[in-house]
Amino acid sequence: MQMNEGIDKMNNEEEQILIHCLYFTASRFARNITKLAEQTFDFGDVAPSYLYMIMIVKFHPEITQKELCHKLSIAPSTSTRFIDKLEKLKLVTRKADGKQTRISLTDQGEELYNEFRVSLKDLFDSYSKVLGQEFSKDLSKTLHEASNQLEREL
């Protein structure tokens, strides 16, 4: 009996550590929401993270690569890789403007953006069915604010 109590105590301690570890919890949540996004966004070779880049370019035509990195909180090397792929798929164009590179959507990129907007609602509906609409909105807002605070400090 004492052995089972010891195991139960260790399992409870482990669970408490994991529950109170933001890094673990956020990573676990990110994996789950990524799975759901991949199921919802069926755009062939274009992964969900690329779709958000397309959205930013839609809202900011001729955005510089530097501004794009800032808005998406990604490294320049990551943005270059993303832009290379989107350009290869004929979804964006890139043009040099002095020392800066400006990114714009092609007509195909505009069409994909419109399909993505519909899928965004589908994604929200999917996780809202499980989490509830208000909780989903509050969680997203809270995570956004926490990310902003951490980025300012890091």
Tell me the domain boundaries of the chain: 1-40, 43-153
Average pLDDT, the chain: 90
The pLDDT confidence band at residue 78, using thresholds 50, 70 and 90, is very high
Section 1-5 average pLDDT: 58
Mean pLDDT of 33-37: 92
What sign does the CA torsion over 48, 81, 30, 150 have? Answer: negative
Rounded to an integer, the average pLDDT of 11-26 is: 87
Distance from C-alpha of 151 to C-alpha of 154, rounded to nearest angstrom = 5
Measured distance CA(3)–CA(129) in Å, rounded: 41
CA distances from 96 to 39, 88, 147, 154 (A): 36, 17, 32, 31
What per-residue confidence (pLDDT) applies to 3?
Answer: 55
CATH class of 43-153: mainly alpha
- State percent of the chain over pLDDT 90: 71
pLDDT at 42: 84
Q: Report whether pLDDT(1) > 60.
A: no
pLDDT classification of 117: cutoffs 50, 70, 90? very high
The pTM is what?
0.77
pLDDT on residue 13: 83
